[in-house]
Structure 1
Amino acid sequence: MFERRMTAGWGDMDFNSHMANTAYLNKAGDVRMMYLAEHGFPMAEFKRLNIGPVVMKDEIGYFKEVLLLDQITVTLCCAGLSQDGSRWMLRSDIYRSDGKLAARINSSGGWLDLTARKLVTPPPALLAAWQALYQTDDFVELPSSVSR
Protein backbone atom coordinates (compact mmCIF):
# COMPACT_ATOMS: atom_id res chain seq x y z
CA MET A 1 0.00 0.00 0.00
CA PHE A 2 1.29 3.47 -0.86
CA GLU A 3 1.54 5.75 2.16
CA ARG A 4 3.39 8.84 3.34
CA ARG A 5 3.94 10.33 6.78
CA MET A 6 3.06 13.99 7.11
CA THR A 7 2.61 16.65 9.77
CA ALA A 8 -0.58 18.57 10.52
CA GLY A 9 0.76 22.10 10.20
CA TRP A 10 -0.36 25.56 11.27
CA GLY A 11 -2.11 26.23 7.97
CA ASP A 12 -4.07 22.97 8.29
CA MET A 13 -5.94 24.04 11.43
CA ASP A 14 -9.45 25.44 11.70
CA PHE A 15 -11.19 27.66 14.25
CA ASN A 16 -11.79 24.67 16.57
CA SER A 17 -8.03 23.92 16.76
CA HIS A 18 -8.18 20.70 14.78
CA MET A 19 -7.40 19.85 11.17
CA ALA A 20 -9.79 21.55 8.74
CA ASN A 21 -11.83 19.60 6.19
CA THR A 22 -9.96 21.19 3.27
CA ALA A 23 -6.63 20.17 4.84
CA TYR A 24 -7.65 16.50 4.68
CA LEU A 25 -8.41 16.90 0.97
CA ASN A 26 -5.08 18.68 0.40
CA LYS A 27 -3.09 15.95 2.17
CA ALA A 28 -4.84 13.25 0.12
CA GLY A 29 -4.17 15.23 -3.08
CA ASP A 30 -0.50 15.66 -2.17
CA VAL A 31 -0.07 11.91 -1.62
CA ARG A 32 -1.88 11.18 -4.90
CA MET A 33 0.54 13.45 -6.77
CA MET A 34 3.55 11.95 -4.92
CA TYR A 35 2.44 8.50 -6.07
CA LEU A 36 2.09 9.64 -9.68
CA ALA A 37 5.49 11.38 -9.64
CA GLU A 38 7.17 8.28 -8.20
CA HIS A 39 5.57 6.16 -10.93
CA GLY A 40 6.80 8.19 -13.88
CA PHE A 41 4.26 10.98 -13.94
CA PRO A 42 5.63 14.17 -12.39
CA MET A 43 3.96 17.48 -13.31
CA ALA A 44 6.30 17.93 -16.28
CA GLU A 45 5.05 14.68 -17.82
CA PHE A 46 1.40 15.71 -17.41
CA LYS A 47 2.26 19.03 -19.03
CA ARG A 48 3.96 17.21 -21.93
CA LEU A 49 0.94 14.91 -22.36
CA ASN A 50 -1.48 17.84 -21.99
CA ILE A 51 -3.70 15.88 -19.61
CA GLY A 52 -4.37 16.05 -15.91
CA PRO A 53 -6.33 14.29 -13.18
CA VAL A 54 -9.69 15.84 -12.45
CA VAL A 55 -11.66 15.07 -9.29
CA MET A 56 -15.42 15.19 -9.78
CA LYS A 57 -16.51 14.13 -6.31
CA ASP A 58 -14.96 13.90 -2.84
CA GLU A 59 -16.58 12.23 0.16
CA ILE A 60 -15.01 12.55 3.60
CA GLY A 61 -15.87 10.66 6.76
CA TYR A 62 -14.36 11.91 10.03
CA PHE A 63 -13.58 9.61 12.95
CA LYS A 64 -10.94 11.15 15.24
CA GLU A 65 -9.46 14.64 15.64
CA VAL A 66 -6.04 15.61 14.30
CA LEU A 67 -4.38 18.46 16.20
CA LEU A 68 -1.56 20.89 15.43
CA LEU A 69 1.80 19.16 14.81
CA ASP A 70 0.28 15.68 15.02
CA GLN A 71 2.05 13.16 12.83
CA ILE A 72 -0.30 11.47 10.37
CA THR A 73 -0.02 8.72 7.79
CA VAL A 74 -1.93 9.18 4.54
CA THR A 75 -2.60 6.11 2.39
CA LEU A 76 -3.62 5.79 -1.24
CA CYS A 77 -5.59 2.84 -2.66
CA CYS A 78 -7.74 2.19 -5.69
CA ALA A 79 -11.42 1.66 -4.84
CA GLY A 80 -12.65 1.59 -8.44
CA LEU A 81 -11.39 1.76 -12.02
CA SER A 82 -12.89 1.49 -15.49
CA GLN A 83 -11.30 -1.01 -17.87
CA ASP A 84 -9.96 1.78 -20.08
CA GLY A 85 -8.75 3.79 -17.06
CA SER A 86 -10.78 6.86 -18.00
CA ARG A 87 -12.62 6.80 -14.68
CA TRP A 88 -11.32 6.02 -11.20
CA MET A 89 -12.16 6.12 -7.53
CA LEU A 90 -9.31 6.51 -5.06
CA ARG A 91 -9.40 6.08 -1.29
CA SER A 92 -7.12 7.80 1.17
CA ASP A 93 -7.20 6.89 4.84
CA ILE A 94 -5.61 9.30 7.29
CA TYR A 95 -4.29 7.73 10.47
CA ARG A 96 -3.05 9.42 13.61
CA SER A 97 0.25 8.40 15.15
CA ASP A 98 -1.66 6.22 17.65
CA GLY A 99 -2.89 4.15 14.67
CA LYS A 100 -6.50 5.35 14.90
CA LEU A 101 -8.34 6.24 11.71
CA ALA A 102 -8.93 10.00 11.66
CA ALA A 103 -10.62 10.32 8.27
CA ARG A 104 -11.45 8.44 5.07
CA ILE A 105 -11.61 10.21 1.72
CA ASN A 106 -13.12 8.72 -1.44
CA SER A 107 -12.33 10.73 -4.56
CA SER A 108 -13.90 9.99 -7.95
CA GLY A 109 -12.39 11.37 -11.10
CA GLY A 110 -10.93 10.90 -14.53
CA TRP A 111 -8.33 12.23 -16.94
CA LEU A 112 -8.94 15.62 -18.56
CA ASP A 113 -7.56 16.64 -21.95
CA LEU A 114 -6.43 20.16 -21.11
CA THR A 115 -7.05 21.54 -24.62
CA ALA A 116 -10.32 19.81 -25.55
CA ARG A 117 -11.57 20.07 -21.92
CA LYS A 118 -13.09 16.59 -22.10
CA LEU A 119 -12.41 13.29 -20.42
CA VAL A 120 -10.00 10.92 -22.17
CA THR A 121 -8.38 7.54 -21.66
CA PRO A 122 -4.90 7.67 -20.14
CA PRO A 123 -1.78 6.45 -21.95
CA PRO A 124 -0.93 2.79 -21.17
CA ALA A 125 1.84 3.62 -18.67
CA LEU A 126 -0.49 5.88 -16.68
CA LEU A 127 -3.22 3.23 -16.66
CA ALA A 128 -0.60 0.72 -15.45
CA ALA A 129 0.33 3.06 -12.57
CA TRP A 130 -3.31 3.16 -11.41
CA GLN A 131 -3.65 -0.60 -11.86
CA ALA A 132 -0.55 -1.11 -9.67
CA LEU A 133 -2.25 0.56 -6.69
CA TYR A 134 -3.46 -1.68 -3.89
CA GLN A 135 -7.16 -2.40 -4.46
CA THR A 136 -9.62 -1.99 -1.60
CA ASP A 137 -11.76 -4.93 -0.46
CA ASP A 138 -14.82 -3.19 -1.93
CA PHE A 139 -13.16 -2.38 -5.29
CA VAL A 140 -15.66 -1.94 -8.15
CA GLU A 141 -15.28 -1.84 -11.91
CA LEU A 142 -16.54 1.52 -13.14
CA PRO A 143 -18.07 2.39 -16.50
CA SER A 144 -15.94 4.35 -18.96
CA SER A 145 -16.21 8.15 -19.01
CA VAL A 146 -15.28 8.37 -22.66
CA SER A 147 -18.08 8.76 -25.23
CA ARG A 148 -17.90 6.22 -27.99
Structure 2
Amino acid sequence: MSASFERTYTVRWADMDPNGHMRHSAYADYAAQHRIEYLAAHGFTLMRFAQLGLGPILFREDTRFLKELHINETLRVTGELSGLSEDGSRWNILHTLFKPDGRPAATVAVEGAWLDLRARKLLVPPPEITALMRELPRHESYADIVRKAN
Protein backbone atom coordinates (compact mmCIF):
# COMPACT_ATOMS: atom_id res chain seq x y z
CA MET A 1 0.00 0.00 0.00
CA SER A 2 1.41 3.39 -0.95
CA ALA A 3 1.35 6.69 0.84
CA SER A 4 -1.65 8.95 0.53
CA PHE A 5 -2.25 10.47 -2.90
CA GLU A 6 -3.62 13.97 -2.37
CA ARG A 7 -4.29 16.87 -4.71
CA THR A 8 -5.13 20.48 -3.94
CA TYR A 9 -7.42 22.59 -6.10
CA THR A 10 -8.92 26.08 -5.94
CA VAL A 11 -12.69 26.46 -6.16
CA ARG A 12 -13.36 28.26 -9.44
CA TRP A 13 -16.06 30.67 -10.57
CA ALA A 14 -17.44 27.91 -12.81
CA ASP A 15 -17.91 25.70 -9.72
CA MET A 16 -20.32 28.12 -8.05
CA ASP A 17 -24.11 28.00 -7.83
CA PRO A 18 -26.60 30.85 -7.33
CA ASN A 19 -26.51 30.29 -3.54
CA GLY A 20 -22.89 31.39 -3.37
CA HIS A 21 -21.35 28.02 -2.64
CA MET A 22 -19.89 25.22 -4.74
CA ARG A 23 -22.51 23.50 -6.89
CA HIS A 24 -23.32 19.90 -6.04
CA SER A 25 -21.91 18.37 -9.23
CA ALA A 26 -18.53 20.10 -8.81
CA TYR A 27 -17.78 17.87 -5.82
CA ALA A 28 -18.05 14.82 -8.09
CA ASP A 29 -15.95 16.58 -10.73
CA TYR A 30 -13.07 17.08 -8.29
CA ALA A 31 -13.29 13.44 -7.15
CA ALA A 32 -13.17 12.29 -10.79
CA GLN A 33 -10.20 14.58 -11.48
CA HIS A 34 -8.41 13.08 -8.48
CA ARG A 35 -8.93 9.52 -9.80
CA ILE A 36 -7.69 10.44 -13.28
CA GLU A 37 -4.62 12.20 -11.85
CA TYR A 38 -3.84 9.19 -9.66
CA LEU A 39 -3.95 6.85 -12.63
CA ALA A 40 -1.96 9.26 -14.87
CA ALA A 41 0.69 9.82 -12.18
CA HIS A 42 1.32 6.06 -12.30
CA GLY A 43 1.54 5.74 -16.09
CA PHE A 44 -2.11 5.22 -16.97
CA THR A 45 -2.89 8.41 -18.86
CA LEU A 46 -5.99 8.80 -21.00
CA MET A 47 -3.78 8.13 -24.04
CA ARG A 48 -2.51 4.90 -22.47
CA PHE A 49 -6.07 3.79 -21.73
CA ALA A 50 -7.00 4.49 -25.37
CA GLN A 51 -4.05 2.36 -26.52
CA LEU A 52 -5.18 -0.45 -24.20
CA GLY A 53 -8.79 -0.09 -25.33
CA LEU A 54 -10.15 0.16 -21.81
CA GLY A 55 -11.27 2.73 -19.31
CA PRO A 56 -12.80 3.18 -15.87
CA ILE A 57 -16.59 3.47 -15.52
CA LEU A 58 -18.89 4.14 -12.59
CA PHE A 59 -21.96 2.22 -11.49
CA ARG A 60 -22.74 4.42 -8.54
CA GLU A 61 -21.71 7.75 -7.06
CA ASP A 62 -22.87 8.97 -3.66
CA THR A 63 -21.98 12.43 -2.35
CA ARG A 64 -22.43 13.49 1.27
CA PHE A 65 -22.29 17.25 1.79
CA LEU A 66 -20.86 18.30 5.15
CA LYS A 67 -19.59 21.91 4.91
CA GLU A 68 -19.90 24.59 2.26
CA LEU A 69 -17.03 25.40 -0.07
CA HIS A 70 -16.79 28.94 -1.48
CA ILE A 71 -15.08 30.63 -4.43
CA ASN A 72 -11.28 30.80 -4.24
CA GLU A 73 -11.14 28.42 -1.27
CA THR A 74 -8.49 25.77 -1.49
CA LEU A 75 -9.77 22.23 -1.26
CA ARG A 76 -7.71 19.11 -0.67
CA VAL A 77 -8.92 15.83 -2.16
CA THR A 78 -7.93 12.34 -1.05
CA GLY A 79 -8.96 8.92 -2.30
CA GLU A 80 -9.01 5.70 -0.33
CA LEU A 81 -9.83 2.22 -1.51
CA SER A 82 -13.02 1.00 0.14
CA GLY A 83 -13.35 -2.22 -1.84
CA LEU A 84 -11.67 -4.29 -4.54
CA SER A 85 -12.49 -7.60 -6.18
CA GLU A 86 -9.77 -10.25 -6.23
CA ASP A 87 -9.26 -9.90 -9.99
CA GLY A 88 -9.39 -6.09 -9.85
CA SER A 89 -12.40 -5.88 -12.13
CA ARG A 90 -14.55 -4.03 -9.57
CA TRP A 91 -13.46 -1.29 -7.20
CA ASN A 92 -14.84 1.19 -4.69
CA ILE A 93 -13.14 4.45 -3.75
CA LEU A 94 -14.07 6.95 -1.07
CA HIS A 95 -12.92 10.50 -1.78
CA THR A 96 -12.85 13.14 0.94
CA LEU A 97 -12.83 16.83 0.04
CA PHE A 98 -11.38 18.98 2.81
CA LYS A 99 -11.81 22.67 3.56
CA PRO A 100 -8.65 24.80 4.06
CA ASP A 101 -8.93 24.32 7.86
CA GLY A 102 -8.87 20.53 7.47
CA ARG A 103 -12.55 19.88 8.12
CA PRO A 104 -14.23 17.50 5.66
CA ALA A 105 -16.50 19.40 3.26
CA ALA A 106 -17.86 16.29 1.54
CA THR A 107 -17.30 12.64 0.77
CA VAL A 108 -17.81 11.11 -2.66
CA ALA A 109 -18.13 7.31 -2.68
CA VAL A 110 -17.90 5.60 -6.07
CA GLU A 111 -18.36 2.02 -7.25
CA GLY A 112 -16.65 1.26 -10.51
CA ALA A 113 -15.26 -1.25 -12.95
CA TRP A 114 -13.25 -1.43 -16.17
CA LEU A 115 -14.83 -1.25 -19.62
CA ASP A 116 -13.51 -2.75 -22.85
CA LEU A 117 -13.92 0.30 -25.08
CA ARG A 118 -14.22 -1.77 -28.27
CA ALA A 119 -16.55 -4.55 -27.14
CA ARG A 120 -18.42 -2.23 -24.71
CA LYS A 121 -18.33 -4.94 -22.05
CA LEU A 122 -16.78 -5.20 -18.62
CA LEU A 123 -13.36 -6.80 -18.38
CA VAL A 124 -10.63 -7.82 -15.99
CA PRO A 125 -7.88 -5.18 -16.28
CA PRO A 126 -4.21 -5.92 -16.87
CA PRO A 127 -2.39 -6.99 -13.68
CA GLU A 128 -0.54 -3.63 -13.54
CA ILE A 129 -3.83 -1.78 -13.08
CA THR A 130 -5.01 -4.15 -10.35
CA ALA A 131 -1.66 -3.73 -8.59
CA LEU A 132 -1.99 0.06 -8.84
CA MET A 133 -5.49 -0.03 -7.34
CA ARG A 134 -4.16 -2.16 -4.48
CA GLU A 135 -1.60 0.58 -3.74
CA LEU A 136 -4.28 3.10 -2.81
CA PRO A 137 -4.54 3.65 0.94
CA ARG A 138 -7.39 1.62 2.40
CA HIS A 139 -10.32 3.32 4.05
CA GLU A 140 -11.30 2.01 7.48
CA SER A 141 -14.51 0.62 5.92
CA TYR A 142 -12.59 -1.45 3.33
CA ALA A 143 -14.19 -4.76 2.39
CA ASP A 144 -13.26 -7.18 -0.39
CA ILE A 145 -15.78 -7.20 -3.24
CA VAL A 146 -16.99 -10.76 -3.69
CA ARG A 147 -19.01 -11.40 -6.82
CA LYS A 148 -21.49 -14.23 -6.93
CA ALA A 149 -21.32 -16.55 -9.93
CA ASN A 150 -24.26 -16.24 -12.30
Task: Say yes or no: TM over 0.5.
Answer: yes
1:122 match: secondary structure: coil
Partner of 1:68: 71
Identical positions, percent: 37
User: Is residue 140 of structure 1 aligned with residue 143 of structure 2?
Assistant: yes
Amino acid at match of 1:32: R
Q: Deviations over 1:14-52 (max 9, x none)?
A: 111101111000000001000000111011110011000
Displacement of 1:143: 2.5
User: Is residue 77 of structure 1 aligned with residue 80 of structure 2?
Assistant: yes
Displacement of 1:78: 0.5
Q: Distance in 1 between matches of 2:140 and 2:132?
A: 19
Structure 1 stretches of at least 4 aligned residues deviating more than 3 Å after TM superposition: none
Amino acid at match of 1:14: D
Amino acid at match of 2:51: R
Change (3 A) 1:117 1:144: farther
Amino acid at match of 1:110: A
Contact in 2 for aligned 1:87/1:143 (Cα 8 Å): no
The two structures have a TM-score, normalised by structure 2, of: 0.95
Displacement of 1:144: 4.2
Q: Distance in 2 between matches of 1:103 and 1:46?
A: 29
Partner of 2:39: 36
Of Structure 1 and Structure 2, the greater strand share is in 1
The alignment of Structure 1 onto Structure 2 pairs a total of residues equal to: 147
1:138 match: secondary structure: coil
Amino acid at match of 1:64: K
User: Is residue 103 of structure 1 aligned with residue 86 of structure 2?
Assistant: no
Amino acid at match of 1:10: W
Partner of 2:13: 10
User: Is residue 26 of structure 1 aligned with residue 37 of structure 2?
Assistant: no
Amino acid at match of 1:108: E
Q: Distance in 1 between matches of 2:43 and 2:146?
A: 26
Structure 2: segments with no counterpart, 5+ residues:
none
1:25 match: secondary structure: helix
Q: Structure 2 residue aligned with 1:124, among 97, 122, 127? A: 127
Amino acid at match of 1:33: I
